[in-house]
Amino acid sequence: MSGSAFSSSAAELEILQTPPPESGKGYIVDDGGLLSRAASGTINSKLAALEKETGFHLNVITIRKLVFEQDPFAFGDKVLETWYPTLEVGNDKGNLLLVKNSKEGAIVGGPAFLKGVGDDILDSILSKNIPYNLEDEKFGEALTSSVDRIVAALEGKEDPGPPTKFIKDKSKTYKTKEETNEKREVFSNVVIGLLVISFVVPMVQYFGYVAGDPDFDDN
């Protein structure tokens, strides 16, 4: 096993061996180092308020790479079952997982948690909030926007909605071969016309001058 693979697998084991984040004190296991201090503070505050108001507990987990369990959903479930081994304690718990290397995400949770968020919101987060932001490596935004939508759903508030994907203008900005040839032909005709004018006009002027000069033949 290479050094990077060993480090990644060690990270998986480390997360599994980490005690579950304590209610009201912390909700983030940022092994992947994807969150700034400000983003971490914002997320922790929102999740603490969520748990206090509703009883739902969401953990945010980041990891650089998955080696042993490469499916983020399977790994997220494994962490959830390890931290909350019974249905009673895990019913209202959830994990939001982000994998840096593969740019993938997963949301797993107990039955009450998943029902509270709803399939539509879950699918939208996984198909829009996470992939849209990860295209530009906006890991922090992927997590904070996903947390905002999960919190809103569990608190019964209006869904802030997914991000708007910026679609680059794919209109043609180049000339086709036919257009280039057409331009070249027009240019060539203009040049030829100018050359004809520059030659013919002086000649006409010359002959006009000769015809009007009575002394020309005397020479």
- Indicate the residue among 126, 154, 182 that finishes a domain: 154
Output the pLDDT for position 81.
97
E strands in the chain: 28-30, 57-63, 93-99, 104-109
Per-residue pLDDT, 142: 98
Q: According to the model, what pLDDT value does residue 129 have?
A: 98
Residue stretches of the chain with pLDDT short of 50: 1-8, 169-177, 180, 187, 190-191, 216, 219
148 and 46, same domain (yes or no): yes
How many domains, the chain? Answer: 2
- 166 part of a folded domain: no
CA-angle at 155, arms to 22 and 130, nearest 5°:
75
Write down the pLDDT at residue 195. 56
Q: Kindly state the tokens that stand for 212.
A: 């009007």
DSSP string covering 106-137, please?
EEEE-HHHHHHH-HHHHHHIIIIIHHHHHHTT
Please check whether residues 94 and 190 belong to one and the same domain. no
In this prediction, residue 165 carries a pLDDT of 79
Is the same domain home to 25 and 132? yes
Domain with 186 in it: 174-219
Judgement on whether residues 179 and 80 belong to the same structural domain of the protein: no
